[in-house]
Amino acid sequence: MAHLRLFGPARQAAGVATTTAEGETVAAALESARDRFGAVFSAVLDTSAVWVNGVAVGFETRVGADDEIAVLPPVSGG
């Protein structure tokens, strides 16, 4: 299971800042998180960037127990 780190609205929607997610790819791990955290989290995830171990990656990227998946929602400000 990969480590999942959530920021901003993703953290608020899930109710946790860190957790683990099952799956052999980023897509599978995030699908597991969608199932666990529900529709509001899923909507935030749809607009978020995803990084693994500090690098922007695609959803097909393989992940393992030592990997950290970071969910970074868009930032707004002025």
User: 25-49 pLDDT, tens per residue?
Assistant: 999 999 999 999 999 999 999 999 9
Question: Whole-prediction pTM value?
Answer: 0.92
Domain count, the chain: 1
Average pLDDT of the chain to the nearest whole number: 94
Sheet holding 55-56, edge to edge: 18-21, 2-6, 68-72, 49-52, 55-56
The tokens for 25 are 């790819």
In a domain, 77, yes or no: no
In a domain, 78, yes or no: no
Residue 47 identity (one-letter amino acid): T
Pairing of strands 49-52, 55-56: antiparallel
Domain region containing 58? 2-72
Q: Give the N- to C-terminal CA distance of the chain in Å, as an integer.
A: 38
CATH number, domain with residue 61: 3.10.20.30
